[in-house]
Amino acid sequence: MKEIEWTDDLSVGVGLIDEQHKMLIKRLNDLKLSLTEQQGPAQIASTMNFLVEYTDFHFSTEEKHMEANEYPTFEAHKKMHDGFKQTLSGLEEDFEEEGATQGLADSIDTLLVNWLINHIQKVDVEFGKFLMSKGIELPEEG
Ligand SMILES: [Fe+2]
């Protein structure tokens, strides 16, 4: 599995969100690595848990700023986040039931990685544009 790299074409133009996306990608890469290296169930479970926790934290950050700034498509955006969280918990269940299968590794690439890249480039970018058009700057600490 190839590592995902954060490059400028993933920038949404907002420092706080870009930094969190970098961390999210790192945690996704850590999970991919723990699977390819077959690091053992405890290690895989822990990288998965790190990813789940950071995903929740990051989505909450985005949603908090969307709500606070009356972002028009907040509800739709939040639904997408909820869908991703559901997918992620489904994969967690698969792992608990079947262990680190090739199918799980493939699903991480197709369901998580593809979703995230697409979401950042098509959906989060719009929020970034909205903030910039209103001249809103987000605090660095979230
Ligand atoms: Fe988002």
pLDDT for residue 2: 77
Ligand 1 centroid to Cα of residue 53, in Å, is: 15
Domain, as residue range, for 23:
14-133
Residue 111, both tokens = 């369901």
Kindly report, residue by residue over 38-83, the tens digit of the pLDDT.
Answer: 999 999 999 999 999 999 999 999 999 999 999 999 999 999 999 9
Rounded Cα–Cα distance for residues 26 and 90 (Å)? 21
Residue 3 counted as domain residue: no
Kindly report, residue by residue over 81-107, the tens digit of the pLDDT.
Answer: 999 999 999 999 999 999 999 999 999
Q: In this structure, what CATH number is given to the domain that contains residue 36?
A: 1.20.120.50
Ligand 1 centroid to Cα of residue 25, in Å, is: 13
Ligand 1 centroid to Cα of residue 70, in Å, is: 15
Ligand 1 centroid to Cα of residue 28, in Å, is: 16
Q: How confident is the model at residue 1 (pLDDT cuts 50, 70, 90)?
A: low
Cβ contacts of 115 within 8 Å, gap of 6 or more: 84, 87
Kindly report, residue by residue over 100-117, the tens digit of the pLDDT.
Answer: 999 999 999 999 999 999
* Contact in structure between 126 and 45 (CB atoms under 8 Å): no
Residue 106 counted as domain residue: yes
Please give the tally of structural domains in the chain.
1
Q: What is the pTM of this model?
A: 0.95
